Amino acid sequence: MNEAESVAHQAWRLIHGKTKPPGSLGKLEALAAQIAAAQGSLAPELDLAALIIFIADHGIAEAGVSAWPQTVTMEMARNFLAGGAAATVFARKFGIPVTLVDAGMREPMAHPKLLDRRLGPGTANFATGPAMSAAQCETALDHGRKLGREAECDALCLGEMGIGNTSSAAMLAHKMLGLPLPELIGPGAGLDAAGVAHKRAILLQAAARTPSRLEPARALAEYGGFEIAMLAGAMLGGAQSRRLVLVDGYIATAAALAALRLEPACRTNLVFSHESAEPGHRLMLDAIGAEPLLQLNLRLGEGTGALVSWPLLRAAGAILADMASFEEAGVSGKRP
């Protein structure tokens, strides 16, 4: 039994002794044990959260796989900076600081609130060749690791923005998990039936370029996005610093697949916040045995699902840190 397993075992013993019927707090009890294991503490602290949004463009968007023009990536970056996007609004309501990262938009944007980690003007079109070089992929992972490791928080919420990135997510799940590609392809941000059919044809063509299964670094280089590779790195960096990492939806889960294959021990720190309405997300979650906290039919990204899960994380931590035991409260336990 490793340290995390030992702490989780001790946490469960404490949870069972709290003033409540066994199992009556449902998923929050399992979450409390996970938080204890991740922090290595039976009195976990969850006072501060932070949000990092990675923004990048995708060459595959040139193939018409999105309902939105590629210019929306940069336009949404401006919206984030102005505080008008859903994620920035939610973060402001919760008092959560936001870091915005240019991982590789088509055009550079100078702004004091935008962190420059550009790896190029978007990835290449992966229908015809690799999305990025192996060196770019490694740099993206390194940038993400550093940001995840140095974030000043107890829990790290991670978000993304990039037109075309549901196509990358589908390809990553297909190549790393072996899931059927057609079942992973959905409407993304609003494709109609004809649009989904076109997207499917393009991605099947792209899949034929490489072997059926790929190791995580090659999968990211062949089919990923700069923002997805940085997300994976941030998850690893956050886990390394014993932070809880709130994984958002479809895109973030694709990044988590890579992180888990690169460093399986990070699983203790990953909290899957919600199940996206994108059809392939449930397949991903089932394949890795992840049980999301929420089902709200979200499909926005940006870290919105991670943000709305933050209060649940705090509540779960309080079970261990603040809730009385039967003995402490002078309450009779269950009859034998």
- Which residues are annotated as catalytic? 302
Q: At a CB cut-off of 8 Å and minimum separation 6, what does 229 contact?
A: 103, 132, 137, 140, 141, 144, 220, 255, 258
Residue with tokens 């079970």: 319
Please count the CA atoms within 13 angstroms of the CA of 96 that sit on its side-chain side.
33
Cα–Cα nearest to 78, from 62, 55, 61: 55
Q: Let me know: does 263 contact 237? Beta carbons within 8 Å.
A: no
Q: Which residue has the tokens 């393009």?
A: 202
Q: In angstroms, how far apart are the furthest CA atoms of the chain?
A: 69
How many other C-beta atoms can be found within 10 angstroms of the C-beta atom of residue 243?
24
Separation of CA 59 from chain center: 22
Answer for the pair 33, 316: CB distance below 8 angstroms, yes or no: no
Q: How many CA atoms lie within 13 A of 331 on its CB side?
A: 13
> Residue 242 to residues 25, 40, 236: CA-CA distances in angstroms?
25, 8, 10
CA distance 43 to 32: 10
Q: Which of 48, 33, 25 is nearest to 314 (CA)?
A: 48
- Of 265, 82, 116, 253, whose CA–CA distance to 172 is shortest? 253
**Separation CA 161–CA 52 (nearest Å):** 11
